[in-house]
């Protein structure tokens, strides 16, 4: 099968299309024919990670450097191991190779049906493979941090970095939970963030949100481009600050099934900025490296025969 292989750490050109062995599912694994993947901010960070850091991550956290990057995917189950219960051949699925397992820049991937190294669920029936691939990480991350903040109906919630992948889902979940949402983004994204459900938008190029005084019950720093100490000035007394920086979101099968249902009811929708062909993954990385994608960048994986 074809895969986009990380030949060494470095700029986008280190990613190259190669022929690699098609994986064979073990007893507890599902073999998925991937129809679409994404390039996330995390993929871009891992691509350029210093090899020494990989060694330390392997020693202290057990993460191995993988040849094939890519976390998010949507596709069809081709075959399953004998112990798999949740899926069968022909099922359309979406999910993520969780826990830095990686491998979605390929025509096929084998994943455990559920557990530490994958989160899979039936694909939302109303979404295309490309749309579905753009959901899992951003949506599960936003859901995790807003639940951690114990978000409540009627609260004032600020989503800082509302136009990125995590932020765009953050606005939609906050709205779903009944909050009054303020989204912070740049001028070009004001309309997008409004359309996602923010009742108020703040252009960070024009206004300093930290000068508005104590205003918010919950502040979700969804992009990590501003310090905790600055943002906390805008928190009400007893308000809660949560951030994508500093801890990993918990990704669960139940969470992804909940997200699937919200996609199907139309409450949550992916924002897709750009689409690239499989061979254009280096170009997609170049774009993501700029740090200004709106929502998600999707990769179409060619159909293997
Ligand atoms: N903790 C976890 O488990 C977890 C999980 C997933 C992701 N993350 C982290 O979460 C962060 C966001 O990920 P993502 O995928 O959502 O990123 P992303 O989509 O690449 O973020 C891009 C967005 O950031 C906005 N942005 C850039 N500079 C900004 C600034 N100074 N102020 C406000 N917005 C700004 C851009 O809007 P403009 O063009 O308008 O500037 C753009 O829309 C990353 O650091 C990622 O590594 C953490």
CA count, 13 A, side-chain hemisphere, 227: 3
Q: How many CB atoms lie within 10 A of CB 4?
A: 27
At 259-296, the pLDDT tens digits run 999 999 999 999 999 999 999 999 999 999 999 999 99
Q: Does the CB atom of residue 42 touch ligand 1 within 6 A?
A: yes
Q: Report the C-alpha gap between 121 and 136 in whole angstroms.
A: 10
CA-proximal residue: ligand 1, atom 33 (nearest): 161
Q: Are 301 and 107 in contact (CB under 8 A)?
A: yes
CA count, 13 A, side-chain hemisphere, 166: 26
Mean pLDDT of 204-229: 92
**What's the gap in Å between 247 CA and the centre of ligand 1?**
15
Q: How many CB atoms lie within 10 A of CB 253?
A: 17
Q: Is the dihedral of CA 73, 79, 82, 86 positive or negative?
A: positive
Q: Report the C-alpha gap between 168 and 182 in whole angstroms.
A: 12
Angle separating helix axes 253-264 and 136-148, nearest 10 degrees: 110
Q: Of all residues in the chain, what percent carry a pLDDT higher than 70? A: 99
pTM of this prediction exceeds 0.75: yes
Probe residue for ligand 1, chosen from 191, 223, 296 as the CB with the greatest number of ligand atoms within 8 Å: 223
CA-proximal residue: ligand 1, atom 40 (nearest): 186
Q: Does the CB atom of residue 294 touch ligand 1 within 6 A?
A: yes
Q: Are 89 and 79 in contact (CB under 8 A)?
A: yes
Q: Does the CB atom of residue 202 touch ligand 1 within 6 A?
A: no
At 103-118, the pLDDT tens digits run 999 999 999 997 778 9
Give the mean pLDDT of the chain.
94
């Amino acid at each position: 099968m074809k895969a986009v292989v990380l030949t060494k750490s470095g700029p986008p050109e280190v990613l190259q299309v190669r022929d690699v062995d098609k994986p064979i599912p073990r007893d507890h694994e599902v073999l998925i024919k991937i129809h679409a993947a994404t390039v996330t901010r995390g993929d871009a960070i891992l691509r350029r990670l210093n090899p020494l850091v990989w060694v330390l991550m392997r020693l202290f956290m057990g993460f191995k450097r993988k040849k094939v990057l890519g976390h998010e995917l949507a596709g069809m189950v081709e075959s399953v191991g004998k112990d798999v219960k949740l899926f069968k051949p022909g099922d359309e699925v979406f999910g993520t190779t969780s826990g830095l397992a990686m491998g979605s820049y390929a025509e096929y991937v084998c994943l455990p049906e559920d557990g530490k190294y994958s989160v899979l669920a039936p694909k939302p029936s109303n979404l295309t493979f490309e749309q579905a691939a753009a959901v899992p990480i951003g949506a599960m991350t936003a859901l995790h941090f807003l639940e951690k903040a114990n978000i409540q109906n009627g609260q004032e919630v600020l989503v800082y970095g509302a136009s990125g992948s995590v932020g765009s889902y953050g606005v939609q979940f906050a709205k779903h939970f009944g909050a009054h949402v303020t989204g912070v983004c740049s001028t070009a994204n004001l309309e997008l963030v409004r359309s996602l459900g923010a009742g108020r938008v703040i252009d960070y190029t024009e206004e300093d949100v930290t000068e508005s005084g104590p205003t918010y019950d919950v502040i979700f720093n969804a992009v990590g481009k501003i310090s905790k100490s600055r943002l906390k000035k805008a928190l009400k007394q007893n308000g809660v600050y949560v951030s994508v920086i500093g801890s990993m979101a918990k990704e669960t099968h139940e969470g992804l099934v909940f997200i699937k249902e919200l996609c199907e009811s139309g409450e949550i929708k992916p924002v897709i900025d750009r689409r690239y062909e499989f061979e254009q993954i280096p170009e997609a990385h170049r774009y993501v490296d700029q740090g200004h994608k709106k929502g998600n960048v999707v990769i179409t994986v060619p159909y293997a025969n």
